[in-house]
């Protein structure tokens, strides 16, 4: 959906103006989604170095690849919100904005003089989104939160990994990113409401809330069992065989949770006797005896390599797949056919498009560059002076 | 945002009509978000048992808690889309719908006679969202996908867990749920575009694409290092100390990645000598020597319990937290203050609200029940006959 000047149709949020005070990840990934969907995003950064993620590893050609991936397609203006002249510019930008996104700790915007009551009174059509670790209310509101902390406190880490092993987080910052994607939903919902009512609103998204909202059936399992669910490794809580299995040269995953798929798997592995085995006679029986079943399956699978098994599983219609590392992902034929990964213009970096395809239109073959600090100051000020709006 | 008849304001998507053909998780969680935001969601189920998740464990009072959590607040009508009379009803519903959501394998909607070209031609204002494992195009499009398979193929599993241990998935079905949350964004973006253009659109979201889009900086690290990044356990790739650490009676997490936070931590742990140690003199030096640093930190932390350390870390201003299991999450004071978890009416189940707070309005104290199969048939048909629309 990103427009890259190559004739790709304008995105669905074309014309929408987003002021972005956010830093690092949870806020910037939210406004990246909005920018990829066609909105104009003006990143307002502190003149003293700007978004600290500009210094985050890894670097490519001397610039942060971390920053470039998440801030592509945005414009940058450096403003010191404690200085009168810059505050005046910021207020003129606010007057033209549809959305303001910030991820300071709760209270910072109030101290800057731009708290929600002030913004609401002066610019009632504005949608203000605040993304924070714990939310705008509650005993932990002023605490700092990082991905690791919300993965730990939300229960996510307690469900991840193998029993008896040291704790592990999910291998990507879903503590931040889930909040980003929910916040983008909240912003769009508030904009749709504004179409009806003419009034903006305040979106309050907490990283901790978002992780808990993604616990799926773990809360229900905890209530039913009367005790906290343990980590399951790669297993499923309510289906088997549904796990990672060893082949001769590595691991693969098989998801054959129902009776029909299990029967196909047993036939393919030349083990029809499993189907007559009481331990495996139903879904719940297989879950109860999943360790024994896994051992039997691995006894077969370790006779050949992953690359031998995957096409056979596919032919049999048993859902399965390789456990790919990131290097393999970069060469995955399905992702290539989808065009999901694209180079960021002017860099050696590949990044993923926001994964929303619209109207069967292919994604652009490149992603726009991230801005240098204050790169668009002149253009933004000129357009403000002309009474026009940067789009 | 859910309206529960207790005077809570209508949600931002009030008046929006969503037809929901989806089953199990990725589709239903998407329409749950839309319902929680105020949309009317009509779940169209097959008369032969309906959504198979109605049978999924865990059960509470004989009904699937899994199903109830994700389908709260929706209405149900049973229609056989292969039968003429039911097809006619479905077409009348389509004529009044704003959004159609489905998560069949690609091709199924076409075979039912409701493929995108047909829908687009006949109901041009309709937004059609298709959620699938691999997307509507590409060599894997017809393959079945489950959460486990997309976590494996996307690289997510390769980044999760500890090196040398068997593979592990993230402990919740983020392969499904990420697709749900992105799809809700795509639907809302298409609706905002429709406000400008009067035309609907087709949203194509693939579970695999979504997982890859959440890999954060792993793609950049792979490109820079020339090799796939390994799993890091609870560690951070570019900051230390930023990990899970052992205390006397268990684990806690500390996120003290920058120099200032590290200095505070060293002082609090009575180890100012760490600040004069070349191995720990900078962020990158600490990352290079994180194992040695971790051993020193744990030497201190194992002298007291988690509950002793956490308030001291908080007073010192070092971001930290407990690794809570799901039972602890149910009693977390911040989540309680936020009101994130609420009982589903008529059940003993607690579930999380969609984590988007609007206008500082507290969430309702209960969540609406999920429908029985075909529960709303009479009401839906009556309203259709009256030329009215179920809201």
Residue in chain A lying closest to B70 (CA): A216
Give SS3 for B343.
strand
pLDDT at B8: 65
Q: Does A231 touch chain B (CB under 8 A)?
A: yes
Contacts of A40 (CB under 8 A, 6+ apart): A15, A16, A17, A18, A75, A390, A391
**Which of A39, A119, A168, A226 is the best residue to mutate to test the B interface, defined by the most B CB atoms within 10 Å of its own CB?**
A168
Cβ pair B185:A181 closer than 8 A: yes
**Band of the pLDDT at B57, cuts 50, 70, 90?**
confident
Tell whether the model's pLDDT for residue A4 goes beyond 50.
no
Tell whether the model's pLDDT for residue B389 goes beyond 70.
no
Which strand ranges, in their side-by-side order, compose the sheet holding B99-102? Answer: A357-358, B201-206, B127-132, B99-102, B17-20, B40-45, B75-78
- Architecture of the structural domain at B242-325: 2-Layer Sandwich (3.30)
Cβ pair B168:A161 closer than 8 A: yes
CA distances from A348 to A2, A7, A60, A367, B222 (A): 19, 23, 7, 12, 12
**Which of A329, A340, A351, A362 is the best residue to mutate to test the B interface, defined by the most B CB atoms within 10 Å of its own CB?**
A329
* Cα dihedral sign, B231-B271-B321-B217: negative
CA distances from A221 to A196, A233, B103 (A): 40, 17, 25
Contacts of B295 (CB under 8 A, 6+ apart): none
**Band of the pLDDT at B9, cuts 50, 70, 90?**
confident
Pick from A254, A260, A324: which is nearest to A293 by CA?
A254
pLDDT digits over A24-53, tens only? 999 999 999 999 999 999 999 999 999 999
Q: What angle do CA B314, B315, B316 make, to 5 degrees?
A: 90
Cβ pair A337:B139 closer than 8 A: yes
Give the whole-angstrom CA distance, residue A384 versus residue A95: 10
Exposed / middle / buried, residue B117 (Cβ in 10 Å: 0-12, 13-18, 19+): exposed
Share of chain A above pLDDT 90, in %: 91
**Band of the pLDDT at A8, cuts 50, 70, 90?**
low
Residue in chain B lying closest to A126 (CA): B359
The alpha carbon of residue B79 is apart from the nearest alpha carbon of chain A, in Å, by: 24
The alpha carbon of residue A81 is apart from the nearest alpha carbon of chain B, in Å, by: 24
Question: What number is the average pLDDT over the span A125-131?
Answer: 98
pLDDT digits over A82-109, tens only? 999 999 999 999 999 999 999 999 999 9
- For chain A, give percent helix, strand, coil, nearest 5: 40, 15, 45
pLDDT at A7: 55
**Band of the pLDDT at B22, cuts 50, 70, 90?**
very high
Cβ pair A154:B324 closer than 8 A: yes
Q: Does A353 touch chain B (CB under 8 A)?
A: yes
The alpha carbon of residue A59 is apart from the nearest alpha carbon of chain B, in Å, by: 8
Residue B149 is nearest to which of A174, A321, A357, comparing CB atoms?
A321
Pick from B379, B373, B388: which is nearest to B80 by CA?
B373
Going from N- to C-terminal start, the domains of chain A cover 17-214+332-385, 242-324
pLDDT digits over A260-273, tens only? 999 999 999 999 99
Give SS3 for B76.
strand
The alpha carbon of residue B2 is apart from the nearest alpha carbon of chain A, in Å, by: 13
pLDDT at A3: 42
**Which of B59, B159, B226, B334 is the best residue to mutate to test the A interface, defined by the most A CB atoms within 10 Å of its own CB?**
B334
The DSSP symbol for A353 reads P
Q: Does A335 touch chain B (CB under 8 A)?
A: yes
**Which of B33, B115, B139, B161 is the best residue to mutate to test the A interface, defined by the most A CB atoms within 10 Å of its own CB?**
B161
Q: Does A118 touch chain B (CB under 8 A)?
A: no
Question: What number is the average pLDDT over the span B169-181?
Answer: 97
Residue B189 is nearest to which of A12, A146, A338, comparing CB atoms?
A12
Active site residue ranges of B: 236
Neighbours of B71 (CB within 10 A): 28
Cβ pair A69:B182 closer than 8 A: no
Cβ pair A192:B192 closer than 8 A: yes
The alpha carbon of residue B260 is apart from the nearest alpha carbon of chain A, in Å, by: 14
Tell whether the model's pLDDT for residue A78 goes beyond 90.
yes
Task: Please name the residue that has the structure tokens 């033209």.
Answer: A96
The alpha carbon of residue A163 is apart from the nearest alpha carbon of chain B, in Å, by: 11
**Band of the pLDDT at A1, cuts 50, 70, 90?**
very low
Q: Does B140 touch chain A (CB under 8 A)?
A: yes
Share of chain B above pLDDT 90, in %: 91
Share of chain B above pLDDT 70, in %: 97
Tell whether the model's pLDDT for residue A391 goes beyond 60.
no
Here the tokens at position B249 are 């009676």
Tell whether the model's pLDDT for residue A307 goes beyond 60.
yes
pLDDT at B2: 40
Question: What number is the average pLDDT over the span A182-208?
Answer: 98
Q: Does B274 touch chain A (CB under 8 A)?
A: no
Phi-psi region of B18 (alpha: psi -120 to 50; beta: other; left: phi over 0): beta
Cβ pair B355:A201 closer than 8 A: no
pLDDT digits over B207-237, tens only? 999 999 999 999 999 999 999 999 999 999 8
**Band of the pLDDT at B173, cuts 50, 70, 90?**
very high
pLDDT at B4: 44
What ipTM was predicted for this assembly? 0.97
pLDDT at B316: 95
In chain B, beta strands by DSSP E: 17-20, 40-45, 59-60, 63-64, 75-78, 99-102, 127-132, 201-206, 242-246, 251-255, 320-322, 341-343, 350-352, 357-358
| Residues of B in Cβ contact (< 8 Å) with A232 | 169, 171
Tell whether the model's pLDDT for residue A5 goes beyond 90.
no
Q: Does A63 touch chain B (CB under 8 A)?
A: no
Query: CA neighbours within 13 Å on the CB side: how many for B323?
Result: 26
Phi-psi region of B145 (alpha: psi -120 to 50; beta: other; left: phi over 0): beta
Q: Does B66 touch chain A (CB under 8 A)?
A: yes
Helices then strands, each counted (H, E), chain A = 16, 14
Question: What number is the average pLDDT over the span B360-364?
Answer: 91
Contact criterion met (CB below 8 Å) for A140 and A115: no
Q: Which residues pair with A17 in a beta bridge?
A: A40
Pick from A329, A87, A168: which is nearest to B215 by CA?
A329
DSSP track, A215-273? -TTHHHHHHHHSSPPPP-TT--SS-SSEEEEE-SSSEEEEE--SHHHHHHHHHHTT-GG
CATH homologous superfamily for the domain A17-214+332-385: Crotonobetainyl-coa:carnitine coa-transferase; domain 1 (3.40.50.10540)
Neighbours of B31 (CB within 10 A): 29
Question: What number is the average pLDDT over the span B157-177?
Answer: 96
pLDDT at B383: 85
Question: What number is the average pLDDT over the span B4-11?
Answer: 66
Interfacial B residues in 185-224 facing A (CB < 8 Å) = 185-186, 188-193, 195-196, 201-206, 208-210, 212-224
Task: Please name the residue that has the structure tokens 């691991």.
Answer: A251
CA B97 to chain centre: 25
Interfacial A residues in 70-109 facing B (CB < 8 Å) = none
| Residues of B in Cβ contact (< 8 Å) with A191 | 188, 192
Task: Please name the residue that has the structure tokens 């996307």.
Answer: B154
Q: What is the mean pLDDT of chain A?
A: 95
In A235-387, beta strands by DSSP E: 242-246, 251-255, 320-322, 341-343, 350-352, 357-358
| Residues of B in Cβ contact (< 8 Å) with A201 | 12, 358-359
Give the whole-angstrom CA distance, residue A24 versus residue A52: 7
Domain B17-214+332-385 identical in fold to domain B242-325: no
Give the whole-angstrom CA distance, residue B264 versus residue B272: 9
Pick from B26, B218, B57, B295: which is nearest to A170 by CA?
B218
Examine the residue annotation and report whether A236 is marked as an active-site residue of this protein.
yes
Catalytic pick among A14, A46, A236, A289: A236
pLDDT at A175: 97
**Band of the pLDDT at A251, cuts 50, 70, 90?**
very high
- Architecture of the structural domain at A242-324: 2-Layer Sandwich (3.30)
Model-level pTM? Answer: 0.97
Tell whether the model's pLDDT for residue A220 goes beyond 70.
yes
The alpha carbon of residue B228 is apart from the nearest alpha carbon of chain A, in Å, by: 5
Q: Does B279 touch chain A (CB under 8 A)?
A: no
Residue in chain B lying closest to A330 (CA): B219
């Amino acid at each position: 959906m990103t427009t890259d000047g190559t004739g790709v149709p304008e995105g669905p949020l074309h014309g929408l103006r987003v002021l972005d005070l956010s830093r690092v990840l949870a806020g910037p990934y939210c406004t990246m989604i909005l920018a990829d969907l066609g909105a104009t995003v003006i990143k307002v950064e502190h003149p003293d170095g700007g978004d600290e993620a500009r210094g985050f590893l890894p670097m490519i050609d001397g610039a942060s690849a971390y920053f470039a991936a998440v801030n592509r397609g945005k414009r940058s203006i450096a403003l010191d919100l404690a200085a009168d002249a810059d505050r005046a510019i910021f207020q003129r930008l606010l007057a033209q904005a549809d959305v303001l996104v910030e991820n300071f700790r709760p209270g910072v915007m109030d101290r800057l003089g731009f708290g929600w009551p002030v913004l609401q009174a002066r610019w009632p059509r504005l949608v203000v989104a605040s993304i924070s670790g714990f939310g705008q209310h509650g005993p932990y509101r002023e605490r700092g939160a990082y991905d690791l902390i919300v993965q730990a406190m939300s229960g996510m880490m307690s469900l991840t990994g193998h029993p008896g092993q040291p704790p592990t987080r999910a291998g990507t910052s879903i503590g931040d990113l889930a909040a980003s994607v929910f916040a983008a939903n909240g912003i769009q919902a508030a904009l749709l409401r504004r179409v009806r009512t003419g009034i903006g609103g305040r979106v309050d998204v907490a990283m901790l809330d978002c992780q808990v909202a993604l616990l799926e059936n773990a809360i229900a399992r905890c209530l039913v069992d009367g005790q906290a669910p343990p980590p399951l490794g790669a297993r499923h809580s309510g289906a088997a065989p549904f796990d990672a299995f060893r082949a001769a040269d590595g691991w693969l995953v098989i998801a054959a949770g129902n009776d029909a798929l299990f029967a196909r798997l047993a036939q393919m592995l030349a083990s029809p006797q499993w189907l007559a085995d009481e331990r495996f006679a139903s879904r719940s029986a297989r879950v109860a005896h999943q360790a024994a079943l896994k051992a039997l399956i691995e006894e077969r699978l370790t006779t050949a390599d992953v690359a031998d098994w995957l096409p056979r599983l596919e032919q049999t219609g048993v859902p399965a797949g390789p456990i790919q590392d990131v290097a393999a992902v970069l060469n995955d034929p399905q992702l290539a056919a989808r065009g999901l990964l694209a180079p960021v213009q002017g860099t050696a970096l590949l990044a993923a498009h926001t994964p929303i395809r619209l109207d069967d239109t292919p994604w652009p073959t490149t992603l726009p560059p991230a801005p240098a600090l204050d790169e668009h100051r002149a253009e933004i000020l000129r357009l403000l002076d002309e009474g026009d709006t940067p789009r």
